[in-house]
Amino acid sequence: MIEPTLNYVPCPVAAPAGQPQAVRRMAYWEWNATGNPQHPHVVLCVHGLARQGRDFDVLARSLSTQARIICPDVAGRGQSDWLADPQGYQVPLYGMDILGLLAQLHQQAPIRTLDWVGTSMGGLIAMGLLGQPELPWPVPVRRLVLNDVGPVIEWDALARIGEYVGQMEHFDSVEQAAQALWEMAGEHFGPHTPEQWLALCRPQLRPHPQGGWTLHYDPAIAEPFRALAQATPEMAQAGEAAMWQLYEHITAQTLLLRGAQSDLLSAATATAMTQRGPKARLVAFEHVGHAPTLVAAEQVAVVRDFLFSEQ
């Protein structure tokens, strides 16, 4: 069975005037079963807030027979370096890191076709970048999959997520951690077999210094997130208006996935996204909340058909 390779891209760190430019590393996982290590079709898969690039293992393994699949660990997650300043854990920095990653990939082997799959935060990063076509893209993004996210985020969902993000528990075993993570939020991801859920949870963990396991991200990612959840109604409205403006500048053919029971992406927002900007095609998955994990065969098939169809 094909497995990914772990690679890194250097990303700049702000330094005082006159000081040498420091760098940190962003990790990314590459899947390629095409037989061509320089395959010109790249699919970028970007994960959610407290997740990491191995979330896409099932999807990436399926897609990798037809393209290079690149799954970054966004700063502070997985194998990537943590930030010295927690206020950097926001979409603008993530976006610049992704552009740096694409530049490195394009230098390694020219990208001719570029697609993007973004789950939750990964979709917000996509909207922030694709809404600015003047940015230094190697090639324009051809097809975009937004997984349970849009210009309007429901604040009740932010409050729910804020209750557990950054809570670095100590687990005695991987199995105990998987059970705890299911009790924390698993029902929102929809039905999974025990084996599927364990496979999703295992990369979420790192060894705890005192033995056992803890979560594989910097708990400080919660600091700017919690500040966002405390925004005033006026700030929220301004933010939504800015995100709609970015969305309406997207030219990529767009597929919008929604968990039918999602508390983060409302049905009304999803419908509006089919009528504005790129006029996304909407597919909803029953018995799933926020967000579809793209592990179920039905979900993988929808993404695969969208990315590789001739239309």
Contact (CB, 8 A) for 118 and 144: yes
* pLDDT of 233 higher than 70: yes
Percentage above 70 pLDDT, the chain: 97
5-161+231-308 sits in which CATH class?
A: alpha beta
Q: 189, 119, 142: which is closest to 41 by C-alpha? A: 142
pLDDT in the model for residue 243: 96
For range 120-127, the mean pLDDT? 98
pTM: 0.95
Q: Which residue type does 182 have?
A: W
**Cis check: omega of the bond before 27, within 30 degrees of 0:** no
The full set of domain ranges for the chain reads: 5-161+231-308, 167-216
Kindly indicate the confidence band of residue 229, based on its pLDDT and cuts at 50, 70 and 90.
low
* pLDDT of 252 higher than 90: yes
* pLDDT of 17 higher than 70: no
Kindly indicate the confidence band of residue 97, based on its pLDDT and cuts at 50, 70 and 90.
very high
DSSP code of 17? T
